[in-house]
Amino acid sequence: MIDVLEVVVRVVAVVAAFLLLPLLVGQTEHKVMAHMQGRVGPMYAGGFHGWAQLIADGVKFAQKEDVVPTRADPVVFRLAPGVAMVPYLVALAFVPLAPGWVGVDVEVGLLVVLAVMGVGVLGSLMGGWASGNKYSLLGGLRTAAQLIAYELPFVLTAASVAMAAGTLSLPGIVEAWQPWWIAWQGIGAVVFFVAGLAELQRPPFDMPVADSEIIFGAYTEYTGLRFAFFLLAEYAGIVLLSALTAVLFLGGWHGPFEDTLGWLWTLLKTMVLAVVVIWLRVAFPRLREDQLQRLAWQWLVPLALVQLALTGVVVLV
């Protein structure tokens, strides 16, 4: 009975984090962009500081008509938002918040998270293919090309940290982490974070949804709550990427009074990285498709290999 209760508590905690943290990131994005760009709209709804903007967005999406294009594949079209969203819920269960505070602790947790995150991108591919729209299809093809290009440096830099820690367990990696790893694994941290942003199709790596060229890419034909699910998946991806970066490269729960406030340090590092993601959207222009591919193959992949080789040398010596 105690084991069943523990499982229920862990499941409820993971689902609650999945539902709340992406919404918090979305609200933060509204406010950060409003301050940085002088936007009036996000600061208006509800009065004080636009506190009701997120509620207004939810009501707007719920009121919109759910349309399935005539030429679309209806089954795949309807499944795509769920395929995009659910993998991030599964992956979040393996990310530790503090010692013993993890939904599922397995010895190969890092491999599971990386594999599941790759599945999440398939939602965009399915949506682009099933929409019966050439702009959606082109967005899906760009998503596929971007995934192929940036998955390699993403995985290589994660492997570098696993090699340094001597384990594929995410809690084990945090326990093995030392402050000097920030310098030792610094190149890998930057490559990992940038590659993760590209996989999430976040600006400035949002060519698959370039509104000036292909309307809104794979999501062009989506409306209402189905479109909202894609947005929720994007924000959940930001939370997961930020949490993984904090766990792998910034020591997770390590900090002052970590025995009692370890969970707070993990959340704080995660939210700071999420704000960096939002800042990058505002501060940098969108890359062209050729620039995006060149960055991956000519810069990030070689840097990831250098980081992997450096880690190997230090571990062996």
Give the DSSP per-residue string, 249-278: HS-TT-STTHHHHHHHHHHHHHHHHHHHHH
CA distance 21 to 239: 7
Cβ neighbours of residue 141 under 8 Å, at least 6 residues apart? 128
Does residue 18 register a pLDDT over 90? no
Residue 203: both structure tokens together: 């600006």
Q: Report pLDDT for 214.
A: 66
CA distance 97 to 115: 20
Question: What does each C-alpha distance from 214 to 132, 217, 220 come to in angstroms?
Answer: 14, 5, 8
**Angle of helix 301-316 versus helix 186-199 axis, rounded to 10:** 140
What's the pTM value of the predicted model, to 2 decimals? 0.92
Q: What is the mean pLDDT of residues 54-58?
A: 81
Amino acid residing at 13: A
72-103 tens-digit pLDDT:
888 999 999 989 889 998 999 999 998 888 88
118-145 tens-digit pLDDT:
887 788 888 888 988 888 888 888 888 8
Count of other CB atoms within 10 angstroms of residue 69: 16
Q: What is the mean pLDDT of residues 176-193?
A: 93
Structure confidence at residue 302 as a pLDDT band (50, 70, 90): very high
Does residue 65 register a pLDDT over 60? yes
152-173 tens-digit pLDDT:
999 999 999 999 999 999 999 9
Please give the mean pLDDT across all residues of the chain: 87
CA distance 168 to 218: 34
Lowest mean pLDDT segment, chosen from 3-7, 97-101, 234-238? 3-7
Does residue 251 register a pLDDT over 60? yes
The rounded Cα 169 to chain-centroid distance in angstroms is 20
Cβ neighbours of residue 35 under 8 Å, at least 6 residues apart? none
Structure confidence at residue 2 as a pLDDT band (50, 70, 90): low
Sort 2 into a burial class: Cβ within 10 Å, 0-12 / 13-18 / 19+: exposed
Q: If you ran DSSP here, which 8-state letter would residue 217 be given? A: G
The rounded Cα 110 to chain-centroid distance in angstroms is 15
